[in-house]
Amino acid sequence: MNAACCFGKAGNTKEAARAYKKAFLMDPKNGALFQNFWTVYGADKKRQNEGIQILKTLVAARSSAALPLYYLGFLNQALGKKAEARKAFEKVVKSKEGQKFSSAWVRLGEIYYKEDGDEKKSERHMVKALEQNPRDEKASEFLQFLATRAKNRRDMTRFVEIIKKILKYQPENGQVWNHLAWHYHSRRQLREALKYYEKAVKFAPNDAIIQTGLGKAYNDLNENAAAEACFKKAIAIDPEHVDALMNLGWFYRKHGKLEKAKALFERILEIDPGQMRIRRDLEGIKRRLEK
Enumerate domains of the chain plus CATH numbers. Answer: 1-100 (1.25.40.10)
pLDDT of residue 10: 52
pLDDT of residue 7: 46
Read off the pLDDT of residues 164-185 as tens digits, 9 standing for 90 and up.
999 999 999 999 999 999 999 9
Q: What is the pLDDT of residue 3?
A: 47
CB 175 within 8 A of CB 204: yes
**Mean model confidence pLDDT for the chain:** 92
Contact 104, 125 (CB under 8 A): no
Per-residue pLDDT of 29-56, as tens digits, reads 888 888 888 888 887 888 888 889 989 9
> Lowest-pLDDT range, 9-13, 99-103, 236-240, 272-276?
9-13
* Residues 63-90, mean pLDDT to the nearest whole number: 94
Q: In this predicted model, what pLDDT tens digit does every residue of 195-247 receive, in sequence order?
A: 999 999 999 999 999 999 999 999 999 999 999 999 999 999 999 999 999 99
Per-residue pLDDT, 44 = 80
State the pLDDT confidence band at 118, using cuts at 50, 70 and 90. very high
- Note the pTM of the prediction, 2 decimals: 0.87
How high is the pLDDT of residue 33? 83
Phi-psi domain of 41 (left: phi exceeds 0; alpha: psi -120 through 50; beta: other): alpha
